[in-house]
Amino acid sequence: MSLRSLADAAGVRVGTAVTASPLRSEPRYRRTLVTEFNSVTAENEMKWERLHPDPDRWTTDDADLIATTAHDHGMDVRGHTLFWPHLATPDWVTQCTTRTDMLTAVADHCRGAFTRYGDTVARWDVINEPMHWLEGRLADQSWLSVIGPAWPLDVFRVAAETAAELDAAPELWLNVTHADVLSDKQALCIELAQQLLAAGLPLHGIGLQTHCLVPDFIPELPTPEHLAAVVRSVTSLGIEAAITEMDMLADPSPDGLDEQGTHYRELVAAALENPRLTEVTFWGFTDAHTWITEHFGQRAPLLFDEHYQPKPAYEGVADALRHRASLVATEETAT
Ligand code: XIL
């Protein structure tokens, strides 16, 4: 049984980041994608600098390929991402000097993205990584200095108002990094969500990236109990949670890959115990195509090996999805 059919049975999305180039050139990349997943996230192709590099120019071929492929195969698309203060924002935006100019650029960008992808993108990561990478404070790029200390609220409000004007109704999400392991980031993320909700803004959910970059970037994995508690801190606000970018550095020996499989199983199962966690997306699916190689070397982070063979990590995730399906079945019998 594929991950996709297990996820369908469990009523959740199992997703992957996807890139346009192997989708064009490698039949087995496309085959594995459409067989194993029911949701996709463009790895880079829907980021601002790729989609809308100049104020009046949109370059959408790659993003369109991803959106059309998903549509043709009945898969959801998570739009990633409208705004990302750390990276992938064109200079003409970061060089705005007034709040009005920057928020006008934000509104134009939303208008174009919602218009182009109204039929295909079900949910957008409105702001990706609003916080500093490793500290519990807001990212301090030009967004903070130009728009002001409440910039995430201001930007989210413009996105929500633009969607309403267009009668578009994508789900609007925040996407955060390392809140699964750093408690000050978790606290700020919850505070931000509370502020958005208190302002009456339609925050649909919070994506937890869950890049497991141990030991190179973070000292240790979250325990399954801790991850479940972080997910609960989100869902207890009355909104959804998702795992949006999971990958995991491993020692590529057989024992290392078994250990990785165990961690994948335990962490994904712990997250999926929560009925308001609706999606688990991985940041790619084959070790042949992963951002990890460039940044951390050959670390076998994904569910399929370089030859598209399933690894223990795949079996771990399949077990976790089966577990969720069994929880759903038990609930249905009880009601
Ligand atoms: C990464 C891509 O995988 C790389 O190809 C690109 O060079 C940089 O961005 N968090 C995110 C993703 O939200 O958008 C990042 O994707 C990985 C970390």
**pLDDT tens digits for 246-275?**
999 999 999 999 999 999 999 999 999 999
Mean pLDDT of 142-154: 94
Q: How far is the CA of 283 from the centre of ligand 1 (A)?
A: 9
Top mutation candidate among 21, 44, 45, 66 for ligand 1, by most atoms within 8 Å of CB: 44
pLDDT at position 140 over 80 = no
* Domain boundaries, given as residue ranges, for the chain: 3-334
Question: According to the model, what pLDDT value does residue 329 have?
Answer: 82
pLDDT band at 330 (very low <50, low <70, confident <90, very high): confident
Q: Which pTM was predicted? A: 0.97
Mean pLDDT of 264-288: 98
Q: How far is the CA of 37 from the centre of ligand 1 (A)?
A: 20
pLDDT tens digits, 165-192:
999 899 999 999 999 999 999 999 999 9
pLDDT band at 328 (very low <50, low <70, confident <90, very high): confident
pLDDT at position 99 over 90 = yes
Distance CA 330, CA 266 (A): 20
Beta strands in 27-160 (DSSP E): 39-42, 76-83, 123-128
Mean pLDDT of 72-100: 95
Question: According to the model, what pLDDT value does residue 300 have?
Answer: 98
Ligand 1, atom nearest to 283 Cα: 3
Distance CA 9, CA 225 (A): 25
Minimal-distance CA residue to ligand 1 atom 9: 44
Q: How far is the CA of 175 from the centre of ligand 1 (A)?
A: 12
Top mutation candidate among 16, 19, 41, 43 for ligand 1, by most atoms within 8 Å of CB: 43
Distance CA 57, CA 76 (A): 26
Q: How far is the CA of 87 from the centre of ligand 1 (A)?
A: 9
pLDDT band at 284 (very low <50, low <70, confident <90, very high): very high
Ligand 1, atom nearest to 125 Cα: 13
Please count the CA atoms within 13 angstroms of the CA of 163 that sit on its side-chain side. Answer: 23
Ligand 1, atom nearest to 291 Cα: 3
Q: Which CATH number fits domain 3-334: 2.40.110.10, 3.20.20.80, 3.20.20.30, 3.40.50.300?
A: 3.20.20.80
pLDDT band at 280 (very low <50, low <70, confident <90, very high): very high
The whole-chain average pLDDT of the chain stands at 96
Minimal-distance CA residue to ligand 1 atom 16: 43
Top mutation candidate among 82, 180, 208, 291 for ligand 1, by most atoms within 8 Å of CB: 291
Question: According to the model, what pLDDT value does residue 231 have?
Answer: 98
Question: According to the model, what pLDDT value does residue 182 have?
Answer: 93
Q: What percent of the chain has pLDDT over 90?
A: 93
Q: How far is the CA of 81 from the centre of ligand 1 (A)?
A: 10
Q: How far is the CA of 334 from the centre of ligand 1 (A)?
A: 42
Question: According to the model, what pLDDT value does residue 86 have?
Answer: 86
Mean pLDDT of 133-138: 89
Question: According to the model, what pLDDT value does residue 153 have?
Answer: 97
Q: How far is the CA of 285 from the centre of ligand 1 (A)?
A: 14
Structure tokens at 145: 């200095």
Question: According to the model, what pLDDT value does residue 102 have?
Answer: 96
Name all residues whose Cβ lies below 6 A of ligand 1. Answer: 43-44, 128, 209, 245, 291
Q: How far is the CA of 290 from the centre of ligand 1 (A)?
A: 10
* CB neighbour class for 9 (10 Å; exposed up to 12, middle 13-18, buried from 19): middle
Question: According to the model, what pLDDT value does residue 142 have?
Answer: 86
Question: How does 12-23 read in b/e, with b if 16+ C-beta sit within 10 Å?
Answer: bbbbbbbbbebb
Q: What percent of the chain has pLDDT over 70?
A: 100
Question: According to the model, what pLDDT value does residue 294 have?
Answer: 97
pLDDT at position 242 over 80 = yes
